[in-house]
A and B are shown apart, each in its own frame.
Chain A
């Protein structure tokens, strides 16, 4: 099966601009997660979708971040306006309902650089 796909793999934008990251989960996976690692820090949870609904968005840093999952398939994470501290690697992961205990499948991430 195809894995979790994220694009772009890299993005360099200027402070104040808008960037949209996309994640395509494994087909049939109802659960979709966003995590990120900012420079020098640990990987942190951002939010969790079950199908198109936000189950937990407690990790979203502020209202400059907006995540959507229309139709319960792919998800987008928009950062508007981007700030320097948003630089890092953004990971998406997915899991099947009923098999969440068996671990998630992560994508390779999007490396975001804000200059």
Chain B
């Protein structure tokens, strides 16, 4: 079972930042938080991951709370092409991802 809780859906205006929350209150000390997204008719796409520190790459930023019980994925300037299902995953085993239901992000013009 997934160890994360995400809102089922969110809307965001094009050009604005999209902030997607995730709760993972039972996360263990050595478990990473991963974010993937799935755009319609495509396979899941890796976005970013982190353990304790905040992380940033060309796609997004990941903010992890100090107690590691929650995190936020930030898409700084959302575009229509960012409309997708976003999955927050606590990697319980290095070679097995456990997907939850994810958050449907709708970016609107």
On whether the beta carbons of B95 and A55 are closer than 8 Å, the reply is: yes
- Interchain nearest-CB distance for B100 vs A (Å): 6
Instruction: Please provide the chain B residues from 61 to 109 with a CB less than 8 Å away from any CB of chain A in the complex.
Output: 87, 94-101
Q: How large is the interface on B (under 10, 10 to 19, 20 to 34, 35 or more residues)?
A: 20 to 34
Which one of B9-17, B20-28, B37-45 is at the A interface?
B37-45
Q: Tell me the complex Cα distance, A91–B96, Å.
A: 13
On whether the beta carbons of A106 and B44 are closer than 8 Å, the reply is: yes
| Contact A102 to B46, CB < 8 A, known contacts A42-B2, A108-B41 | yes
What are the residues of chain B within 8 A of A101 when measuring CB–CB? Answer: 32, 49, 94
On whether the beta carbons of A4 and B43 are closer than 8 Å, the reply is: yes
- Residue-wise, chain A 33-65 has the 8 Å CB interface mask toward B (1 for contact) of 101000000111100100000011011000000
Q: Tell me the complex Cα distance, A42–B2, Å.
A: 10
Q: Tell me the complex Cα distance, A56–B96, Å.
A: 9
| Residue total for A at the interface (Cβ-Cβ under 8 A) | 25
Instruction: Please provide the chain A residues from 60 to 115 with a CB less than 8 Å away from any CB of chain B in the complex.
Output: 91, 93, 100-109
On whether the beta carbons of A42 and B99 are closer than 8 Å, the reply is: yes
Chain A residue with minimal CB distance to B42? A108
On whether the beta carbons of B43 and A109 are closer than 8 Å, the reply is: yes
Q: Tell me the complex Cα distance, A55–B100, Å.
A: 23
| Contact A91 to B95, CB < 8 A, known contacts A42-B101, A101-B49 | no
Contact of A103 among B42, B46, B95, B99 (CB under 8 A): B46
On whether the beta carbons of B98 and A45 are closer than 8 Å, the reply is: yes
On whether the beta carbons of A108 and B43 are closer than 8 Å, the reply is: yes
- Interchain nearest-CB distance for B56 vs A (Å): 15
On whether the beta carbons of B46 and A100 are closer than 8 Å, the reply is: no
Binding site for B on A (CB under 8 A): 4, 31, 33, 35, 42-45, 48, 55-56, 58-59, 91, 93, 100-109
* Further pairs besides A45-B97, A105-B46, A106-B43: 14, Cβ < 8 Å: A31-B95, A35-B99, A42-B2, A44-B99, A45-B96, A45-B98, A48-B95, A59-B96, A93-B43, A100-B95, A101-B49, A104-B97, A108-B42, A108-B43
